[in-house]
Amino acid sequence: MEKEKKDRFLLSMLVNNEAGVLTRISGLFARRGFNIASLSVGETENPDISRMTIMATGDDYFKEQVVLQLEKLQDVRIVELMDMDDTVMRELLLVKVRVDDQTSRSQILEAVSIFRAKVIDLTPVSLTVEITGETVKLSAFIEYLAPYGISELCRTGVTAIGRGNNILSKKYNKEEN
């Protein structure tokens, strides 16, 4: 497991915001037999450009090769292998938990407070909770809630941004000029 964590890497890309881009990028990984552990895509401040964040696992050779291959794709404007120590990473989790009695409800609400989560839906039989943070925090929250009975959950995958002046769009604009 320690090796897997060591081989985990994060790519951040600016890509054209148009149909088929995600298919071409994910296909590049699939053709090489590598799994994408997490993928997050969203429009940037420029509606013509999307930012894509991919978490994957692979050795140094694979990392280099995937960056080189991604840079060749016409729709990829810039790709960067993120420095995990100089990057802010977050993930969003929505989780629905069964509540059978008042005791379990109060224990879950206490955990919501401790983990700095937020109840976003409440019914007589369930609580739906929203939590953001690093992957390990979300995993710990899920582990805590599991004995109460998780009815449903969904995660966004990791999204990341460089710290301080480490700005991907500035690097892209610099290369363009």
CATH assignment of the domain containing 97: 3.30.70.1150
Mean pLDDT value across the chain: 89
* CATH number of the domain to which 13 belongs: 3.30.70.260
CB 154 within 8 A of CB 94: yes
Both 149 and 97 in a single domain? Answer: yes
What pLDDT shows up at residue 168?
80
Cα(9)–Cα(85) distance, integer angstroms: 11
Number of structural domains the chain divides into: 2
Residues 118 and 146 in one domain: yes
Q: Does residue 175 form part of some domain?
A: no
78 and 103 co-located in one domain: no
Does residue 112 share a domain with residue 60?
A: no
Alpha carbons 60 and 158: distance in angstroms, whole number: 21
In this structure, is residue 48 part of a structural domain? yes
Could you give the count of Cα atoms lying within 13 Å of 175 in the half-sphere of its Cβ? 13
Per the confidence metrics, is the pTM higher than 0.95?
A: no
Residue count of the chain: 177
User: Cα–Cα distance between 129 and 153 in angstroms, integer?
Assistant: 9
Q: Is residue 39 part of a domain?
A: yes
Burial class, 152, CB count within 10 angstroms (exposed 0-12 / middle 13-18 / buried 19+):
exposed
Instruction: Give the structural domain span for 58.
Output: 2-82
User: Does residue 72 sit in the same domain as residue 95?
Assistant: no
Q: Quick: pLDDT tens for 59-116.
A: 888 899 899 999 999 999 999 999 888 999 999 999 999 998 888 899 999 999 999 9
Domain boundary among 50, 82, 114: 82
Q: Does some domain include residue 116? A: yes
Provide the CB-side half-sphere exposure for 28 (13 A, CA).
21
Domain shared by 110 and 54, yes or no: no
